[in-house]
Amino acid sequence: MPRSFLVKKHFNSSKKPNYGELDSHTAVLISPFLYERYPVAVIPQSDLLSSVAYSPITSDTSSKDHSGSESPVSDEEERLQAKLCDPHSIEAEKFQCSLCSKSYSTFSGLAKHKQLHCDAQARKSFSCKYCDKEYVSLGALKMHIRTHTLPCVCKICGKAFSRPWLLQGHIRTHTGEKPFSCPHCNRAFADRSNLRAHLQTHSDVKKYQCKSCSKTFSRMSLLHKHEESGCCIAH
DNA sequence: CTGGGGACGGGGCCC
DNA sequence: TGGGCCCCGTCCCCA
Contact between A182 and A199 under an 8 Å Cβ cutoff? The reply is yes
The string of pLDDT tens digits covering residues A183-231 is 888 888 888 888 888 888 887 767 777 777 777 777 777 777 777 776 6
Any strand C atom closer than 7 Å to A172 CB: no
Least trusted range by pLDDT, from A57-61, A145-149, A161-165: A57-61
Any strand C atom closer than 7 Å to A163 CB: yes
Q: Residues at the strand B interface (CB under 7 A)? A: A 3-4, 6-7, 16, 133, 140, 143-144, 147, 159, 161-162, 166, 169-170, 172-173, 187, 189-191, 193-194, 197-198, 200-201, 217-219, 221-222, 225-226, 229
Compute the average pLDDT of residues A158-179: 86
The string of pLDDT tens digits covering residues A101-148 is 667 777 776 666 555 444 444 444 677 777 777 776 777 778 888 888
Compute the average pLDDT of residues A16-41: 34
Model pTM score: 0.53
Which residues make Cβ contacts (< 8 Å) with residue A221, sequence separation at least 6?
A: none
pLDDT at A2 over 70: no
Judged on CB neighbours under 10 Å (0-12, 13-18, 19+), A24 is: exposed
Highest mean pLDDT out of A34-38, A69-73, A110-114, A148-152: A148-152
